[in-house]
């Protein structure tokens, strides 16, 4: 490509640039050349702009003294960026971002300024600021609290909503991570810190935990806390974490109630058969591992069907409830009683030998015999009990329970109101 063609191509490029380009005399601030966007966007002809100086074109540069200061800054830097306003010919102005460099040609120094219309960008930024405020308001109102943690200083911003949830005023709660740590329930703290550190180390995509948080009155609320690293330094290390807290105390109470209903018998309040499997299996495993004595008994209320037939099921329920309470009063701390179904109960004697367990069941027989059942229209009430113990490492819950169940049937065949012992042959 010859010189003439190169010049023609360069002219075409400059003419079709979307940004305005100005060549400026640094001493006088006079515009000595500009491309088409430089004058058309402002409503001028090229000749009119060439008769302007920066002082008349740029609305935010006032007088030669200010231009002289700007001139020195431009000469001292590879690129000087200035945000201002360019005057339109017929009134008004447009916001521009001007990047100015300097160079020397034929022993003369020139400024080359490229100006971009940022009117739409500023309008967008203003809209985003308004939207961000709305989003922040919505998040704050939709959650029970928002926090932001600056890791280097351990400064934590607690939102007014979060303070309100915990019973504090707007100016209370020291803005430090220790304020949060000191109020997490001691039993939850290590787990929550582990989850948070895993997120900071990049092992979890988010930080998310449910735990108990103490309020101003010393009571604990259940909260769901979710956060994420929002800023990192040049090395990629996290510097800021932001999150939101939801009060889930009511949900947790409901969950605990449902879990209790799932694990406990509705009539007697005792742990049910489903819960018994888990607890008994756990204790059998521990007895095997630690070689500790463990005994299991199946208890059956004698002639209970007659109570239902003669007095009705409502009276039968009262007997079951009263009898379950009476059994509980005779057990040691650490022993268990489960409602197995119907009039049948299962007892677990922890750290008890067979002789010890037999003495406990004998005390249970005496308690029932000496109880005044007149209030329930019953002359007396007795129990049949089958008792066994864990003897061999190969024994499972099913093995142990079958021995006790066979023993209780033997007690009934032998006249009831007694304990029969069966052990592994």
Share of the chain above pLDDT 70, in %: 93
Residue 202 in this model has a pLDDT that exceeds 80:
yes
The pLDDT of residue 257 is 72
Tell me the C-alpha distance between 183 and 178, whole Å.
9
Please choose, from the candidates 194, 264, 192, the residue with its C-alpha nearest in 3D space to the C-alpha of residue 223: 192
Q: How far is CA 158 from CA 123, 175, 185, 204, in A?
A: 31, 7, 18, 24
Lowest pLDDT segment from 42-51, 119-128, 179-188: 119-128
Tell me the C-alpha distance between 391 and 404, whole Å.
13
Instruction: State the Rg of the chain over Cα.
Output: 42
Structure confidence at residue 193 as a pLDDT band (50, 70, 90):
very high
Q: Which DSSP letter does residue 248 get? A: -
Residue 241 in this model has a pLDDT that exceeds 60:
yes
Residue 138 in this model has a pLDDT that exceeds 60:
no
Structure confidence at residue 60 as a pLDDT band (50, 70, 90):
confident
Do residues 423 and 391 touch, judged by C-beta distance below 8 A?
A: yes
Task: Write the CATH number of the domain with boundaries 266-421.
Answer: 3.30.70.270
- List pLDDT tens digits, range 246-298: 999 988 888 777 666 666 788 888 888 888 888 999 999 999 888 899 999 99
Residue 3 in this model has a pLDDT that exceeds 80:
no
Structure confidence at residue 133 as a pLDDT band (50, 70, 90):
low
The pLDDT of residue 324 is 92
The pLDDT of residue 62 is 75
- CA 195 distance to own-chain centroid: 10
Q: Which DSSP letter does residue 353 get? A: -
> What are φ and ψ of residue 142, in 5° steps?
-75, -25
Provide the edge-to-edge strand list for the sheet that holds 220-232.
Answer: 155-158, 146-150, 238-247, 220-232, 207-214
Residue 90 in this model has a pLDDT that exceeds 90:
no
Tell me the C-alpha distance between 85 and 41, whole Å.
13
Q: Residue ranges per domain, the chain?
A: 3-117, 136-252, 266-421
Alpha helices in 77-144, H assignment, sequence order: 119-142
Tell me the C-alpha distance between 353 and 390, whole Å.
9
> What are φ and ψ of residue 249, in 5° steps?
-60, -45
Same topology between domain 3-117 and domain 136-252: yes
**What number of residues does the chain have?**
425
The pLDDT of residue 70 is 85
- List pLDDT tens digits, range 17-44: 889 999 999 988 899 999 999 899 899 9
User: pTM of the full predicted structure?
Assistant: 0.44
Tell me the C-alpha distance between 268 and 335, whole Å.
17
Structure confidence at residue 301 as a pLDDT band (50, 70, 90):
very high
The H or E element that residue 402 is part of is: helix 397-413
- List pLDDT tens digits, range 303-338: 888 888 888 888 888 889 999 999 999 999 899 999
The pLDDT of residue 169 is 82
Alpha helices in 116-265, H assignment, sequence order: 119-142, 160-165, 177-183, 186-200, 249-263
DSSP output for 43-57: T--HHHHHT-BHHHH
DSSP output for 272-320: -HHHHHHHHHHHHHHHHHHT--EEEEEEEETTHHHHHHHH-HHHHHHHH
Please choose, from the candidates 245, 213, 248, the residue with its C-alpha nearest in 3D space to the C-alpha of residue 143: 245
Architecture of domain 3-117: 2-Layer Sandwich (3.30)
The pLDDT of residue 140 is 60
The H or E element that residue 64 is part of is: helix 63-76
> What are φ and ψ of residue 297, in 5° steps?
-130, 140
> What are φ and ψ of residue 192, in 5° steps?
-65, -45
The pLDDT of residue 141 is 61
Residue 61 in this model has a pLDDT that exceeds 80:
no
- List pLDDT tens digits, range 374-393: 677 777 789 999 999 998 88
Give the list of residues 6+ apart from residue 33 with CB closer than 8 angstroms, or none: 22, 23, 50
Residues 289, 291, 293, 299, CA torsion sign: positive
Q: What is the largest CA-CA distance in the chain?
A: 126
Mean pLDDT value of segment 75-79: 92
- List pLDDT tens digits, range 331-370: 998 999 999 988 999 999 999 999 999 999 999 999 998 8
Task: Write the CATH number of the domain with boundaries 136-252.
Answer: 3.30.450.20
Do residues 166 and 220 touch, judged by C-beta distance below 8 A?
A: no
Q: Which DSSP letter does residue 271 get? A: B
Residue 144 in this model has a pLDDT that exceeds 90:
no
- List pLDDT tens digits, range 403-420: 999 999 999 999 999 999
Q: Which DSSP letter does residue 351 get? A: T
Residue 110 in this model has a pLDDT that exceeds 90:
yes
Q: Estimate the share of the chain in helix, then strand, then coil, as percent rounded to the nearest 5.
A: 45, 30, 30
Tell me the C-alpha distance between 207 and 228, whole Å.
6
Please choose, from the candidates 72, 116, 65, 73, the residue with its C-alpha nearest in 3D space to the C-alpha of residue 95: 116
Tell me the C-alpha distance between 249 and 213, whole Å.
10
Q: What is the mean pLDDT of the chain?
A: 88
């Amino acid at each position: 490509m010859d010189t003439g063609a190169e010049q023609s191509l360069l002219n075409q490029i400059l003419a079709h640039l979307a940004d305005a380009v100005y060549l400026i005399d640094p001493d006088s601030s006079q515009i000595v050349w500009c491309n088409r966007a430089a004058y058309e966007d402002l409503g001028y002809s090229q000749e009119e702009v060439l008769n302007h100086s920066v002082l008349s074109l740029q609305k935010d540069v006032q007088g030669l003294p200010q231009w002289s200061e700007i001139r020195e800054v431009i000469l001292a830097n590879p690129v000087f960026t200035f945000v201002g306003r360019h005057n339109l010919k017929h009134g008004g102005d447009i916001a521009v971002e001007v990047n100015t460099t300097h160079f020397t040609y034929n022993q003369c120094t020139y400024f080359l300024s490229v100006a971009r219309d940022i009117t739409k960008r500023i309008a967008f930024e203003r809209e985003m600021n308004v939207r961000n405020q709305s989003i922040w308001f919505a998040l704050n109102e939709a959650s029970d609290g928002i926090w932001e943690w600056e890791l280097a200083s351990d400064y934590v911003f607690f939102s007014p909503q979060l303070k309100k949830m915990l019973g504090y005023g707007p100016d209370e709660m020291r803005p430090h991570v220790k304020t949060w740590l000191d109020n997490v329930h001691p039993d939850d703290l290590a787990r929550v810190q582990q989850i948070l550190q895993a997120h900071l180390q990049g092992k979890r995509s988010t930080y998310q935990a449910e735990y108990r948080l103490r309020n101003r009155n010393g009571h604990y609320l259940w909260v769901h806390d979710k956060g994420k690293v929002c800023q990192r330094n040049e090395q990629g290390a996290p510097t800021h974490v932001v999150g939101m807290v939801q009060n889930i105390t009511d949900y947790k109470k409901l969950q605990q109630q449902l879990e209790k209903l799932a694990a406990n018998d509705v009539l007697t309040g005792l742990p049910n058969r489903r819960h018994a499997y888990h607890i008994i299996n756990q204790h059998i495993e521990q007895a095997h591992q630690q070689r500790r004595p463990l005994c299991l008994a199946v208890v059956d209320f004698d002639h209970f069907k007659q109570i239902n037939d003669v007095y009705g099921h409502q009276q039968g329920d009262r007997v079951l409830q009263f009898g379950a309470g009476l059994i509980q009063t005779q057990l040691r701390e650490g022993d268990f009683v489960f409602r197995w179904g119907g009039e049948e109960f299962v007892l677990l004697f922890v750290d008890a030998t067979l002789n010890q367990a037999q003495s406990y069941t004998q005390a249970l027989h005496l308690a029932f015999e000496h109880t005044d059942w007149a209030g329930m229209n019953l002359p007396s009430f007795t129990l049949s009990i089958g008792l066994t113990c864990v003897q061999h490492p190969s024994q499972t819950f099913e093995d142990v329970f079958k021995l006790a169940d066979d023993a209780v049937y033997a007690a009934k065949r032998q006249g009831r109101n007694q304990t029969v012992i069966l052990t592994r042959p």
